[in-house]
Chains A and B, each alone.
Chain A
């Protein structure tokens, strides 16, 4: 096929950053974006909380809204013990949120669109919740896999199902975030590619007609903004629910 084609996946290629030093230690553009996100978080919180006025300004109320939102989520989903796990949930939430939002800017890399990053976070959450379960309940935590009020002859069938569904948690948690971000960026790229294809094949008429994919792309950016916030929320809520399971056993 002659002329330009749509290359939707090359945007996820990892390149090394920071010059020769980065090449030696495999410091990628994904890591660069993580550092940018962490820097933004630190600056946002230290600047936002410098003046602790009773009537908050814009920046302070942004920080306080984020804090109270996640705090309420922890208490609602885990219960009173949620206060102990609040720092973890808040860190996960804001790290994913920043990653998703930064990825929406042109030429920026969304580190949450790498399965390595999301799987690392999901595995950490999985191992941590399992550890909390064993820490709180000891070996009685294994009763988690035995549903209450089930006739005994069904147990050989149900216990493996419970174990499999428990073990599939990190997979679904990581693939959900990864697939959402990847699919969103591929969709944006495909519609942007339509504009180039139209112009290349139809000339001036194509350039005028490409206003349709441009408009669609604007709408898609709005959708991706929603998805970016929603997926960070979903990841944090599911972390809370898993912690609830570990602390309360059902």
Chain B
């Protein structure tokens, strides 16, 4: 295994880039937490709200994937 400093720094940088995923974790948790409490208040509106939740989920998840793309770019270029 190659242990030269630039390659190790590359690995560390890619690892650091994945910290951004934590924010998406908070966001998705927030989203579904708010959804559960909203359904608790008004169960009849569940289906209509769930569509917006899915949209929000996809948008939030994409932020995590930006971090992943940056990690991949660091690793493989």
* A residues adjacent to B (C-beta < 8 A): 1, 9, 172, 175-176, 178-180, 182-183, 186, 227, 230-231, 233-234, 237
Contact = CB atoms under 8 A, between A and B. Distances in A.
Interface of B: 1, 54-55, 57-59, 61-62, 65-66, 68-69, 72, 76
B77 to A, nearest CB: 11
Contacts of A182: 69, 72
B68 A179 contact: yes
B65 to A, nearest CB: 4
Nearest to B62: A176
Q: Is the interface of A mostly helix, strand, loop or mixed?
A: helix
A233 B62 contact: no
Given A1-B1, A9-B76, A179 B66 contact: yes
A179 B55 CA distance: 16
A237 B55 CA distance: 9
Contacts of A172: 62
A25 to B, nearest CB: 28
22 contacts: A1-B1, A9-B72, A9-B76, A175-B62, A175-B65, A175-B69, A176-B58, A176-B59, A176-B65, A179-B62, A180-B58, A180-B61, A182-B72, A230-B54, A230-B57, A230-B58, A231-B58, A233-B54, A233-B55, A233-B58, A234-B59, A237-B55
B58 to A, nearest CB: 4
B54 A180 contact: no
B66 to A, nearest CB: 6
Given A1-B1, A9-B76, A183 B58 contact: no
A179 B76 contact: no
Contacts of A179: 62, 65-66, 68-69
A1 B55 CA distance: 43
Contacts of B72: 9, 182, 186
